[in-house]
Amino acid sequence: MPAQCQLRGELLTISVVGLVDNAEIERALTEGVASAGPGAQLHLLWDARRSVTLLSAADVAFRMGLVASLADRGIVSRCAVLGDGTHQQSIIDGLGTVDSGRAAHESS
């Protein structure tokens, strides 16, 4: 499975391997959060070190929007991202797009 979540206590880890589209990321996060049960307050670790997906600005905005949505709903209070230099720079560049990511996520 290219995107998979694992829950250990309050830590929800999403591992992304290979080519992964936004729908797969959203599905994995939705399943991971559901496995924690209602009212869960989690910390998210996003491990993209083995991802080979070339991220567009829209992809970064969408994925940041997913995380922002979880934070807005009180589900995730902390998030860390592991990735290679390309992914890290994409996320850093995308930090200014969190609001557009929220909008992209909410319209899907």
Give the chain's domain count: 1
Neighbouring residues of 86: CB distance < 8 A, sequence distance ≥ 6: none
What is the CATH number for 36? 3.30.750
Shortest CA distance to 65 belongs to which of 96, 27, 39? 96
Above pLDDT 70, what percent of the chain? Answer: 77
- Cβ atoms of 14 and 45 closer than 8 Å: yes
Per-residue b or e along 26-36, where b marks 16 or more CB atoms closer than 10 Å to that residue's CB = bebbeebbeeb
State both tokens at 60: 């970064």
- Please give the Cα distance from 38 to 78 (Å, whole number): 18
Q: Which pLDDT does position 11 carry in this prediction?
A: 97
Return mean pLDDT, the chain. 84
Q: Which pLDDT does position 95 carry in this prediction?
A: 58
**Computed over its alpha carbons, how large is the radius of gyration of the chain?**
13
Tell me the pLDDT tens digit for each residue of 35-56.
999 999 999 999 999 998 888 8
Structural domain including 54 reads 3-107
Q: What's the whole-model pTM score?
A: 0.80
Q: Which pLDDT does position 14 carry in this prediction?
A: 97
- pLDDT exceeds cutoff 80 at 101: no
| Beta-sheet pairing, 42-51 with 3-8 | unpaired
- Please give the Cα distance from 96 to 103 (Å, whole number): 13
Tell me the pLDDT tens digit for each residue of 10-23.
999 999 999 999 99
